[in-house]
Chain A
Amino acid sequence: MKSLSAVECGVGLFGDLAMGPLVEVSGVSVKFGSFLALDNLSLRVMPGEVFGLLGPNGAGKTTTIKVLTGLVVPSSGKVNICGFDPQCESMEVKARIGYVAENPIVYESLSPRDFFEFVASMRRIDQAAANRVVSRLADVFDLAQYFDSPIATLSMGLKQKVALIASFIHQPPVLLLDEPLNGLDARSSRVVKDLVSLHAQRGGAVLFSTHIMEIAEHICTRIGIIDHGKVIAEGTLEQLRSKTEGKSSSLEEVFLKLTNEETSVDDTARMLREAFLGNETH
């Protein structure tokens, strides 16, 4: 195991990477009381990959990401990030991940500047390197007007930008992004997509959960469809299409087909038509 002082300085961790998977989850189950949130879930993300995690609400996407960050302890199974276990070697893992939560969790009374200072201090980042990343991203995300305002006063999208910059500040090899485009405008969404792609091109790994099929279709190199805590399908878009015997053309169709929600969506649409347009049709 490497010494903490060597790895805590996050910038430049890319050089340490092996050629194996940067994220590996094998047979992980998570129970919340009697509720099985993850059921024997397995997935791998290789260097240079953007892995999209798709699934209906409550499928287990956020829980999967929280297991990887070490925030949720799995009941069984193995988790590995850059060769380290998030439970036993949490410091090693935390030094190598950048995390954006579904709802940006930040100290709301701090300003973005205060918050970045906190994150940079915790991660022991060289001040010049931290300033380089923060300055560029804050400029790109147009944060000048908000840089010294309390985070509590910022909109959802601005909070998301702050969380995104904080996750990139140490340029980690693994990015765990839980619905990172929530609340972002079109321009900022584009910036995030570019950042994610660049990160993968540099050899990093990205685990990206989203509800937006279009995004997954465009930026993810591989996609995992998760339902009821299980990965029910995994592969490139082409591989997923082939699993539906070529009957689905878009990722949305593939998704609905694989999660058996195609019929249910049709039924719901019919019910809505009846409920709202019933009088007119009669």
Chain B
Amino acid sequence: MKLTEAWHLSSLPYREAVYRSLAQERNRMWWGAFGKNPSNRGTDEDVELSKRALRIAKFDKLVVAMFNLVVSVIPFASLLLGSSGLGLTSAVSLSLILTFGFMTLHAIQTLSSFVSAESSVLLSTLPITSNDFSVVTLFSFVRSVDYLVVGSVLSQVVLVAYLTLSPVATVLMFVASLMNSVFAVAVALWFSRVFHKNYLRGGRSKRTTLFRGFFILIWGCLLLGVGLLLSMPYYVLPVLDKVLLSVNTLSGILLSFVYPFSAGLAIAKLSGSSVPLVTVFGASVALAAYALAAWFSAKWSLGTVKRISQGAGVRIDRLKAVDFQIKARGPLRGYVTKDLRVTSRNPATAFFFALPVFETVIVAFLAANYELLRASTVIVATSMGAIFTLLVPLALLSSEGKGIEYAKTLPITPKRMVASKALITMATYVPVPFALVCLSLFKPLTSGFSILIPFFMVISIVSASIFEIMIFLRSVGRSKIAGIVNDAEKIFVGLLTILVPEVAYAVVYLSSFNHAFAALTMGGVTLAELWVALYVLGRK
């Protein structure tokens, strides 16, 4: 089979995989709702979705690739603007780390459809050889990350070429960037595969639960790392520069062996920067080793994709149940339990369980930079944490999938469904106020009343979740464009809900210089928001 023919044919399993992941997300799409009318359109909607799957996937890929492009450019920003304070070494290294993290996270979300052989089933019934079949499946796999990889490789290569004017450095950047993409895809594939295996294994043993928890934690750490680096490149870059370029520092020499600092150091040296000789030597040896590792990673990825396409690999262990006992809870507890189980078993939504850790670290990191915990510091820190929480209701909605059709035939009010999601969202934020309380034991507060801010924020988050879900429910039956507007609307209303009480605190304090009065006002505003949210929910 010709490669062009295989590429053309690969759109079939790719389309199936895309359709599957889109159908999973049919209740909510980040880039726009699908216009779901639960009452009178079932099959029609599936047909429409399958027709538009490729177009929607292309649009989504483009948006994500654009974002990745921005992520890869951020570390070079100060160099482009002519600042001499930051070096090429740290810019290249940071750009590679960020794109690696972002690509891995994105690939984990999209590759979950590829880790089972289901999307290739239709193709496997056609009379083509197993080798051709593997090539076709491989191409369908490549299609899911093509824009992302091409975008980041191009941006990094062009930037290095522009900044160094060195052909060798440019070629090295190209190789490093390509290696970076290979590592990202391999890690994502491994992660998705392990998650999928663990998911298929089923069972209720403590070992399984611990195993799942462990992977959610790894996921969380990955997210945390990317998030921290993305939010704070200008805090990180100078520290990196200092460590990497110091001649006698052991940590600098050690870092030269660590990917992607080795790539950054080698490129900087080739462009004429003064890098200590011992560090360059370490970086060169490490780069050669990483090139070898990339080669093996690529081989492993190809082999894995081939095995998946041939339906080999995942073994399903069926453990015979020792009893058929079930535990009946109340409707709200039952729905919360269901939501937690469904979300934690989907690789695309499981990492939201790492949010409490993420938010706590963000808040602690921001607050730790100050000698005193002023009200303004607490406000900024709590807002940063709360903004990430706004994603949780949307993730919980998307994890419902087709199951919502069944849930609608059960005697549960929409109020309880919404309450369940609002409660889970709130729970992901609860560690933040306690982290701030702990921090206040070491850093004095300018006013004791300002510690109430994160606690009021918990109430505000409940209201924001209710508003977001209600807006989602209102969007049912709308077109794609209206869906995009609706997604923006959800986030805007969510943001407004968490910001208004804080603004109220700031305004009242600035006009009265009284923290007690400001805290009282903030509490009043959050309670008013909650009352409005519950009223709107009650009317529904």
Residues of A in contact with B (beta carbons under 8 Å apart) = 4, 8, 30-32, 69-73, 91, 94-95, 97, 99, 101, 105-111, 113-114, 116-127, 130-131, 134-135, 138-139, 143-150, 153
Give A150's nearest chain B residue, CB to CB. B202
| A-B contact sample (5 more), CB < 8 A, given A113-B324, A117-B337, A126-B328 | A69-B408, A95-B411, A131-B326, A144-B320, A144-B324
* A122 lies within 8 A of B411 (CB): yes
Quote the shortest CB–CB distance from A36 to chain B (angstroms).
12
A sample of 16 cross-chain residue pairs with beta-carbon separation below 8 angstroms, ordered by A number, consists of A69-B408, A105-B406, A109-B342, A113-B326, A114-B341, A117-B328, A117-B337, A118-B335, A118-B337, A121-B333, A122-B331, A127-B326, A134-B324, A135-B325, A143-B321, A144-B321
Task: Check: B480 CB closer than 8 A to any chain A CB.
Answer: no
Most buried by B among A8, A99, A139, A150: A150
Whether, in the assembled complex, B316 has its beta carbon less than 8 Å from a beta carbon of chain A, the answer is yes
- Docked-complex contact A73 and B333, CB < 8 angstroms: no
B residues within 8 A CB of A95? 411
Once bound together, how far apart are the Cα atoms of A95 and B331, in whole Å? Answer: 13
The residue in B328, B401, B408 that gathers the most chain A C-beta atoms within 10 A of its C-beta is B328
The 8 A CB mask of B376-414 against A (1 = contact, 0 = none) is 000000000000000000000000011101111111110
Of listed B200, B406, B408, residue having the most chain A CB within 10 A: B406
CA distance A14 to B98 in the complex (A): 62
Q: Which of B42-73 contact A (CB under 8 A)?
A: 44
Contacts of A116 in B (CB 8 A): 326
Contact A148 to B411, CB < 8 A, known contacts A105-B405, A127-B328, A135-B325: no
CB distance from A69 to the nearest CB of B (A): 5
Given B38, B337, B408, which contacts A121 in the complex, CB threshold below 8 Å?
B337
B342 and A107 contact, CB distance less than 8 A:
yes
Interface residues of B (CB under 8 A from A): 38-41, 44, 199-200, 202-204, 316, 318-321, 323-331, 333-335, 337-338, 341-342, 345-346, 401-403, 405-413
Query: Which residues on A sit within 8 Å (CB–CB) of B345?
Result: 109-110, 150
Smallest beta-carbon distance A115→chain B, Å: 9
Q: Contacting B319 at CB < 8 Å: which of A148, A150, A153?
A: A148
Sorted nearest first, the 5 A-B pairs with minimum C-beta distance are A121-B334, A147-B321, A107-B403, A109-B345, A120-B328
| A32 and B44 contact, CB distance less than 8 A | yes
Is A113 a contact of B39 with CB atoms below 8 Å? no
A94 lies within 8 A of B405 (CB): no
CA distance A148 to B321 in the complex (A): 7
A130 pairs with B38, CB closer than 8 A: no
User: In the complex, what residue of chain B is closest to A8 when comparing beta carbons?
Assistant: B411
Across-interface contacts of B412 in A (CB, < 8 A): 122
- CB nearest to A37 among chain B residues: B40
Task: Tell me how far the C-beta of B349 lies from the nearest C-beta in chain A, rounded to whole angstroms.
Answer: 10
- Check if A122 sits within 8 Å of B410, measured CB to CB: yes
B202 and A118 contact, CB distance less than 8 A:
no
Which residues of A sit under 8 angstroms from B403, Cβ to Cβ?
105-108
Inside 8 A of A131's CB, which chain B residues have their CB? 324-326
Residues of A contacting B204 with CB < 8 Å?
111, 113, 148
A8 to B467 alpha-carbon distance, docked (Å):
28
> Smallest Cβ distance from B391 to chain A, in angstroms?
20
Provide the bound-state CA to CA distance between A138 and B320, in Å. 12
Contact A134 B341 (CB under 8 A): no
Please tell me which one of the listed residues A71, A106, A150 contacts residue B408 in the complex, with CB atoms under 8 A apart.
A71
CA distance A119 to B330 in the complex (A): 10
Least CB distance from B160 to A in Å reads: 44
Chain B hits for A139, CB < 8 A? 324
